[in-house]
Amino acid sequence: MAHIQVHRDDIDLDEPTLVEGLPGLGLVGKIAADHLVDVYDMEYYAACHCDGLPEIAVYAEGDPTVRPPVRIYADADEDLLVLQSDAPVSPSGATEFAGCLVSWFDANDVTPLFLSGMAAEQDGEPPAVYGISTGDGASMLTDADIEHPSQAGAITGPTGALIHEAQRTGLTGVGLVVEADRQFPDPAAARAVLQTAIGPLGDFQVDTEALVEQADQIAEAKQRLAEQLEASEDDSTSARPLGMYQ
């Protein structure tokens, strides 16, 4: 039953770019992905029903429609897809998820942009961003003027599994690594990767002013996040609010 279930065949896409937004270090990917969905008012395009994903029921404020926790949003004008997730992918399910998602990318001519934070000291400098590539992605990095890695590294977790699978199968894609806060959501890092890499790669310019303004909200969210992580250890049935930067 594992598959990507598209329910908006009416949205016309031509070799789209996909921005991957799984929760990870600094929540960089999730913040950037959620921001794109918000700014472009993107349409809920497809549900991810891959084995290994959490089976929970998610809903939005003011809208009774139940949605799965991992979804793809689309914008036909920008030929853009965004992978949005409301829950972490478990390490044990990462292999299944990577195979399920990357094979869909391949079958639908999707070029993925994978995102990962990298722990760094906060030194007042803007966070560094560099790019890595799978398939023929190296030329994309050159065309978008994105720097090569300044040191060797490894990307682990679900995003690491996705990039590994793209490499294994030869799918053209790009991974973007950005310095970020190790412990808390880092909208500044998300802004940096949107401005210096995702925009140039996807050939669009996205307004990121909101990310700056939301600094205060982030401070509040830090507190909320801590509480949610604590609560998530309970396996019995309950509904709980989804914060902006869960």
Residues in region 178-197 near a second copy by CB under 8 A: none
By beta-carbon proximity to a second copy, the closer residue of 183 and 205 is: 183
Contact pattern for a second copy over residues 103 through 132, marking x by CB under 8 A: -------------xxxx----------xxx
Q: Which is nearer to a second copy, 25 or 81 (CB)?
A: 25
Residue 246 neighbours by CB under 8 Å, 6+ apart: 23, 86, 225, 228
Residue with tokens 């890595």: 132
Distance (Å, rounded) from C-alpha 206 to C-alpha 88?
A: 26
- Cα separation, 65 vs 57, in Å, equals 10
**Cα–Cα distance list, 234 to 92, 99, 141, 223, 229 (Å):** 19, 29, 43, 19, 10
**β-strand 43-49 against 3-6: which pairing, if any?**
antiparallel
Dmax (CA) for the chain in angstroms is: 50
Which parts of 205-224 interact with a second copy (CB under 8 A)? none
- Of 13 and 176, nearer to a second copy (C-beta) is 176
Shortest CB 80 distance to a second copy, Å: 22
First-to-last C-alpha distance (Å) of the chain: 28
Q: 29-68: which residues touch a second copy (CB under 8 A)?
A: 29, 47, 49, 54-68
Smallest gap from Cβ 121 to a second copy, in A, equals 13
**Measured between alpha carbons, how far is residue 135 from residues 138, 156, 166, 167 in Å?**
8, 19, 8, 6
Pairing relationship of beta strands 129-134 and 111-119 according to DSSP bridges: unpaired
Contact window for a second copy (CB under 8 A) among 73-81, 100-108, 166-174, 188-196: 166-174
With respect to a second copy, which residue has the nearer C-beta, 75 or 86? 86
Which residue among 38, 145, 149, 223 contacts a second copy (CB under 8 A)?
A: 149
Pick the closer one to a second copy by CB: 107 or 154: 154
Shortest reach from residue 211's CB to a second copy, in Å: 19
Using the rule CB under 8 A, which residue among 16, 93, 112, 158 binds a second copy? Answer: 158
Q: Does 69 bind a second copy (CB under 8 A)?
A: yes
